[in-house]
Amino acid sequence: RSWEMLVTVLALLAGLALLWVYLRHADTDIRVRVMHGLSAIAGAACNMHPPADKFRRSMFELLLRVIGTVSAQSETRVFCQDVQLSANTRVRIMHAKGLATSDAPAVMLYLHGGGFVTMHSHTKDFHDLCRHFATAAPLVVVSVEYRLAPETPFPGAVQDAYEALEWCAHGDHPALALCGPASTRAVCVGGDSAGGNLAAVMALLARDGLDADLRPAAKSVRVSHALLVYPWIDPLKTADTLSRRAHASSAHILTVAKLDFFSDAYFGRLDDQDALAKDIRLRPAAAASHTGLPPTTIILAQRDPLLDDGREYGAALQAAGVPTRVLEYDEPHGFLLWDFLAATRAARAEAVADIRKHVLKAL
C-alpha cells in the first residue's frame, strides 16, 4: 500500500500548489475559504486511528511547506538573526533596521502556535507577524523555536520558552541592548493558540519568581505585558462548552479532533494525569491566584472552539484586578496571521497600542 500513499501525497501536493497559486490572486472571502480547506486536509488525519501517527504529523508538515518558511539570511526588510541559546533552544531575533536605543521600548518574547506539535518560528506566517510587531511598535522581537511533541512532551516547550524568557531579560546580545540594560529592560510576552498557553505560563512563572521546573529562579524576570491570542489556556479541559459544540466539525480551522490529537501528543502519554491537572505550566487557569499578573490583552476568534476558554480566562484575570482587555473578532482560529483581513489589521493595531501603553507605563 506504500505506492497508494505516495500517489495520494503527490496528488495532495499538486492540488495544494494549485490552490496556493489561486489563493494569491483571490479576493478576501475566497482566501479565507481556501485556508479552511488547507487546514481541513491536514486536520482530516486527526480522525484516523493508530498506527497513523506518522502520517498525521506528515500532513501537518505538508501544510507548513505550502505556507512556506523564511530564512534569517533571506530577510531584507528588518534585522534578523538566528541565535542558538543551548542544545535545545534556538531563537530568532528581529528588529527594524536602524533602530536606536530610544526607539525600542521593550523586548517581546513571542511563542508560535501549532498545538505544541507542529509549526516553527520560521514558518512564514509567524515570521511575518513577528516582523510586524518589530516594525509597528517598534520592538525587539524574539521568537522561540521550542521543541515539539510527541518527540519532546510536556514540559519541554515550557523549559525552552523559559530559557528564552530569561535570555530576553538578562542576555547581552547587541539587539537586546537596544532595550536598555538588564536592570531596567522591559520584557513583554505574546503567543497564539498553544503559544498563548506558553505566554500565559511565562507570565505566571515570572510573577512567582519560579523557573520552568517550579524552583526559585536564579534571576528574576519582570513581565510588563502579556498578549494572548486565541490562547489554549486549558489543554486538559473537556467541558462541553458552547464554542466547542459550535465549532467541533472539520469545517473549521481548529477542530475538537485536532485538540484531542495535540493533547495526546503533548501530555496524554505521561503518567500521573491528576498531578498535571494542578500544574500551572500546563494549565494557567489552575493557578491559585491570578492577582499580580501583568496587564493582559486577549484577542479571540468567535469561530473557534477555544472562544469560551479565552473568555473565562479573561474574566478570571479581571476578577483578580489585572488590567485586561478581551477583544473578539468574527473570524476563525488563526486569523491574526492573515494580514489580508481587515479584522487582522485592526486586531494587530490594538495589540501594538496596548503593548506600547503598558510597556511605556512600566518603564
Residues with Cβ within 8 Å of 277's Cβ and at least 6 positions away in sequence, in order, are 236, 283, 286
Of 39, 121, 193, 243, which is the active-site residue?
193
Of 125, 304, 308, 354, which is the active-site residue?
304
Of 225, 333, 354, 358, which is the active-site residue?
333
Is 160 part of the annotated catalytic residue set?
A: no
Residue 156: how many CB atoms within 10 A of its CB?
19
Q: Are strands 90-96 and 140-145 parallel, antiparallel or unpaired?
A: antiparallel
Angstrom distance (rounded) from CA 121 to CA 113: 9
Beta strands per DSSP E along the chain: 78-84, 90-96, 107-111, 140-145, 187-192, 223-229, 296-303, 324-332
Residue 240: how many CB atoms within 10 A of its CB?
8
Is 170 part of the annotated catalytic residue set?
A: no
Is 39 part of the annotated catalytic residue set?
A: no
Residue 113's nearest CA partner among 266, 5, 327 is 266
Q: What cell numbers appear for 95 in the block?
A: 528588529
Angstrom distance (rounded) from CA 203 to CA 107: 14
Residue showing cell 523586548:
107
Q: Are strands 90-96 and 78-84 parallel, antiparallel or unpaired?
A: antiparallel
Residue showing cell 542558538:
84
Please, is 205 exposed, middle or buried when counting C-beta atoms within 10 Å of its C-beta (0-12, 13-18, 19+)? buried
Angstrom distance (rounded) from CA 38 to CA 250: 11
- Residues known to be catalytic: 193, 304, 333
